[in-house]
Amino acid sequence: MQLPLYQADAFTSKLFGGNPAALVPLQQWLADEALQAIAAENNLAETAFIVSAGQGYELRWFTPAAEVPLCGHATLVTAHLLWTELGYTGEEIAFFTKSGELRVRRSGETIEMDFPSRPPREIPLEAACATALGTEPLRAFAVPDNLDMMVLEFDSAGRVAELQPDMRAVAALSHRGAICTAPGGGYQCDFVSRFFAPAIGIDEDSVTGSAHTLLAPLWAEKLDKQCLSARQISPRGGELECELHGDRVLLRGVAVTYLRGQVCL
């Protein structure tokens, strides 16, 4: 069996920037074990799989170690590749996912993703955070009853840029991913972030769309703004726009294609 494989960089207009993700379009779903094995072999932060379904596509995302319920950059890559490589001609795509129906639209080269807003609440700061990250955050936030991600706020973008986490200690924290964020002073944006998730096979994610479903409502409240510019200051780096619309977050960015190939099973 041969399966098409594509790879693109998300939240960047320059090749080798942003966050790479793979897409494997399928005629029908393979066994979960096969999907996970392909993702592990690709060894990217995310591999997306789609199957055509009625007026849209079923969409699932896998890290090298686990399936995840929501992924922004791989959704952006999937939409980009549907429009540029797979012949999709509509101006809007409906994706059916474990996080509900997600709508993605395009305006020129810019792709807009309509995601659920997940406002985090302040939670007690774990003493282990300072050890894991090498410096103590100001405060911590999380979505109630959700252990996927917590937000750790720092006093400056420079502090976030200088973090050198102990990945084993980060993996042992209460939440599977740690979003480290601060005001965007010096980076010409409203806020910056970095994302560490060694517990699910991603030491540092380059640009994390799903993290901004927490970050956008958090910083919208702090800065009293509905439209925000964001930078993820990982080594590859990336940029996105966030706009809060009630219980939804619009995430905007661009992508560039890197690879076309085949998986031989």
pLDDT digits (tens, 9 = 90+) for 123-143: 999 999 999 999 999 999 999
pTM of full prediction above 0.85: yes
Single-letter residue type at 127: A
**114-124 average pLDDT score:** 96
Q: 181 is written with which tokens? A: 């964020």
Residue range 121-244 forms a domain whose CATH class is alpha beta
User: What is 2-116+251-264's CATH superfamily?
Assistant: Diaminopimelate Epimerase; Chain A, domain 1 (3.10.310.10)
Determine the Cα–Cα distance for residues 244 and 225; give it in Å rounded to an integer. Answer: 9
Which position among 46, 112, 153, 241 bears the catalytic label? 46
46 counts as catalytic: yes
- Distant-in-sequence, close-in-space partners of 115: CB < 8 Å, separation ≥ 6: 70, 72, 99, 102, 209, 210, 213, 248, 249, 250, 251
Percent of the chain predicted with pLDDT > 90 = 97
Q: Are 207 and 11 in contact (CB under 8 A)?
A: yes
Residue intervals in the chain for CATH 3.10.310.10: 2-116+251-264, 121-244
Single-letter residue type at 99: S
